[in-house]
């Protein structure tokens, strides 16, 4: 089975974990609702279901079941055990880009984030350029 997956951090081309996406088919640039925070060497997407404020910039790829299972390991997601997972895969709706209106999966940060640094503009590539950090 094929899945649409929105990525927004170190899995993107040119960043540290891009090799994990080899074999995936690029579907287009996109934005989804949410906020980004700096988790350290990578970002975390937070869903603001109540406020609806903010967008996160990234890309959508088509991946198969096996690829998605490998990415679950990379993202420290334990299928069936949300409490043990650093990230959790959820459905979001694309709000801009060629796939606007489509539902896609993405990895949402699943740990306390109140003390993490916000990335106000929601663009991780821009953020690492601004702070002078290598991905």
Tokens (6 digits) for 8: 């927004």
Q: Are strands 25-33 and 55-64 parallel, antiparallel or unpaired?
A: antiparallel
Q: Known catalytic residues?
A: 75
Rounded CA separation 38/118 (Å): 6
Residue 97, CA distances (Å) to 17, 39, 103 in order: 23, 26, 13
Rounded CA separation 115/113 (Å): 6
Backbone angles phi, psi at 131, to 5 degrees: -95, 0
Tokens (6 digits) for 43: 């970002």
């Amino acid at each position: 089975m094929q899945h649409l997956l929105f990525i927004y951090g170190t899995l993107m081309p040119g960043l540290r974990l891009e090799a994990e996406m080899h074999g995936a088919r690029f579907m287009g640039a996109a934005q989804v609702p949410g906020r980004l925070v700096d988790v350290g060497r990578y970002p975390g997407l937070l869903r603001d279901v109540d406020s609806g404020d903010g967008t996160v910039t990234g890309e959508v790829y088509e991946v198969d079941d096996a690829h998605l299972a490998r990415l679950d390991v990379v993202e420290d997601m334990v299928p069936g055990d949300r409490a043990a997972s650093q990230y959790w895969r959820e459905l979001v709706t694309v709000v801009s880009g060629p796939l606007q209106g489509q539902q896609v999966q993405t990895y949402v940060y699943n740990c306390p984030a109140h003390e993490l640094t916000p990335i106000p503009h929601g663009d991780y590539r821009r953020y690492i350029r601004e702070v002078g950090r290598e991905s």
